[in-house]
Amino acid sequence: MKMKKTKERSKAQLTPLGRLARNLKRDWQLLVLIAFPVAYFIIFKYVPMAGLNIAFRNYKVGGQLFPVRGLNDWQGFRWFKEFFESPFSWRVIRNTLILSAEQLLVTFPAPIILALLFNEIRHVRVKGFVQTVSYLPHFISVAVVVGIIYNIFSVNAGLVNEIRARMGYEAIDFLQKAQYFRPLYVGSSLWQTAGFSSIIYAAAIAGVDQSLYEAAYIDGSTRFKNVFYITLPSIAPTIITMLILAIGRLMAVGYEKVLLMYTPATYEVADIISTWVYRTGITNGKFSLAAAVDLFNSMINITLLVMANQLSKKLTDTSIF
């Protein structure tokens, strides 16, 4: 008893520096593990944010990215004004919103439905095989996915047009017609992401209390009713959290696939903010204008994230901050 009191008294007498040293010695393994992701975010996410100053300057290649003697080339909001006065500004904003909304409406509920279907498979080996097959497209690179799209929908040797030709129909140039761009983009995204995204919901379903299902079966409930009255309400916080994060990325459409898929013939529906920024900044060398537009895009994402979070907190008491 006396030894215990002595240890407690010695701990209380430790200085803040001593307590820090003690905690570092005790938890050094955890600190090493977390050091790498923290360093990644600091180096590649936070430090580059200082370069946002070029959105308000007339930055030229070879100039100082972080000037130390004042901003002699300060332009204020000139580049933002130039973007909104451009004849292409509202087109790229409209295309970004439409493409993002269509992708959200199609690809967000799909993993939930897929996880619910996986949960109903009782044979362990069949379930494992189906899940593995559905996860595989996630690990295919964007370039390969676009190559697959070209092989299937190409006007010359595409699989779809080969089938149409054998059936006596004319070939359709899916890749050069604007009305087919969004269905191809969203459909390929659904195929590539649905399986892997279902892992989160499958894990949430696995955590549902099984006694709820047993009690429901005793009361005469069916498996179909259990999905709506037990499973979905139980994983609702996970669904809402993922929806908030998806809304926060609404304007951040993956430009890599768009860049590989679109052509001048489909610019009217395919050109989005990210591809416009790429062409303006990298191709045309207008780095300040590109940075200004990308900053505007990021601010819209932050605004949508905060609004979705506040609305969710008010309506469902679920939020991410």
CATH number, domain with residue 205: 1.10.3720.10
Q: Does some domain include residue 52?
A: no
Q: What's the pTM value of the predicted model, to 2 decimals?
A: 0.83
Task: Look at residues 246, 236, 240 and name the one whose alpha carbon lies nearest to residue 313.
Answer: 240
Expressed in percent and rounded to 5, the helix, strand and coil fractions of the chain are 75, 0, 25
Rounded Cα gap, residues 219 and 213, in angstroms: 10
Q: What are phi and psi of 276, to 5 degrees?
A: -65, -40
Query: Rounded CA gap, 117 and 47, in Å?
Result: 44
Query: Is there a domain that residue 53 lies in?
Result: no
Give me the domain span that covers residue 248.
Answer: 78-122+193-316
Site of tokens 């040293």 = 21
Return the ∠ at Cα 49 (arms to 45 and 52), rounded to 5°.
145
Query: In this structure, how many other beta carbons lie within 10 angstroms of the beta carbon of residue 138?
Result: 14
Residue 187 lies in a domain: no
* Spatial CA neighbour of 127 closest among 65, 205, 71: 205
Q: What are phi and psi of 113, to 5 degrees?
A: -60, -40
Number of domains in the chain: 1
Structure tokens at 132: 């593995």
- Of 182, 166, 174, 165, the closest CA to residue 272 belongs to 182
pLDDT in tens, the chain (321 residues): 545 545 555 555 668 888 888 888 888 888 888 999 999 999 988 888 888 888 888 888 777 777 666 666 788 899 999 999 988 899 999 999 999 999 999 999 999 999 999 988 888 899 889 999 999 999 999 999 999 999 999 988 889 999 998 998 898 999 899 999 999 999 999 999 999 999 999 999 999 988 888 888 888 888 888 888 899 999 999 999 999 989 988 888 878 899 899 888 898 999 999 999 988 888 888 889 999 998 998 899 889 889 998 988 888 888 888
The reply to whether 204 falls in a domain is yes
Characterize 173-209 residue by residue with b for buried, 16 or more Cβ atoms within 10 angstroms of its Cβ, and e for exposed: ebbeeeebbbebbbebbbbbbbbbbbbbbbebbeebe
* Torsion angles phi and psi, residue 74, rounded to 5: -65, 130
Give the CA radius of gyration of the chain. 27
Measure the CA–CA gap between 14 and 20, rounded to whole angstroms: 10
Q: Among all chains, which residue has been given the structure tokens 């008294």?
A: 9
Residue 114 domain flag = yes
Residue 222 and residue 194: Cα distance in Å, rounded?
Answer: 27
The 10 Å CB-count burial string (b at 16+, else e) for 11-26 is eeeeeeeeeeeeeeee
In a domain, 164, yes or no: no
Helix, strand counts (H, E) of the chain: 18, 0
Closest to 230 in 3D by CA, of 203, 210, 255: 210
Report whether 172 contacts 214 (CB < 8 A). Answer: no
